[in-house]
Amino acid sequence: MIKLDGIDHVALRVRDVAVSVAWYERVLGLERMHERAWGECPAVVGIGSTALALFPVPTEEVDTRPGTHALAIRHIAFRAGAQAFLDAQRHLQKLGITFQHQDHQIAHSIYFRDPNGHELEITTYEIAQREA
């Protein structure tokens, strides 16, 4: 059996690596990682042991939203505690980033998109635990 520690990174294609790095730093508070070793490509941003590796799209023609029948990653979910979940909502509102709230019974989540159209989720299980 394979014993894993978790997800190391998710690789994303983006239109402009520098713009995406700045967005993830400003909006989600992710930090630049491994820049000395790898330089600009991939640009890795993360927190703790979780990271996103940002690669430039090799062409000008970009399809940002595959249909619901495509085999693709639907979204990337980050976990937060109850207070951080509430703080994230206020932060997104302050930045003018719209999001949708969903109650998943055991967790609450908010969904929004990065500048490249990737859907992101912030979820907390702590709110559901307090209500149970």
Position 27 scores a pLDDT of: 97
pLDDT of residue 101: 96
Cβ(82)–Cβ(130) below 8 Å: yes
Q: Give the confidence band of 128 by pLDDT, cuts at 50, 70, 90.
A: very low
d(CA 107, CA 78): 12
β-pair partners for 79: 123
**Residue with tokens 């969903």, as numbered in its chain:** 102
Q: Which CATH architecture fits 1-60?
A: Roll (3.10)
* Mean pLDDT to the nearest integer, 33-59: 91
What does the pLDDT look like over 28-43, one tens digit per residue? 999 999 988 988 889 9
Domain ranges of the chain: 1-60, 72-132
Q: How confident is the model at residue 66 (pLDDT cuts 50, 70, 90)?
A: low
**What is the model's pLDDT at position 87?**
95
In the prediction, which pLDDT does 73 show? Answer: 82
Determine the Cα angle at 20 with ends 15 and 22, to 5°: 150
CA distances, 131 to each of 50, 55, 82 (Å)? 28, 41, 12
Residue 119 in this model has a pLDDT that exceeds 70: yes
Q: What's the whole-model pTM score?
A: 0.86
Residue 69: predicted pLDDT: 67
Could you tell me the CATH superfamily of domain 72-132? 2,3-Dihydroxybiphenyl 1,2-Dioxygenase, domain 1 (3.10.180.10)
62 pLDDT exceeds 60?
Answer: yes
What are the φ/ψ torsions at residue 52 (nearest 5 degrees)? -115, 130
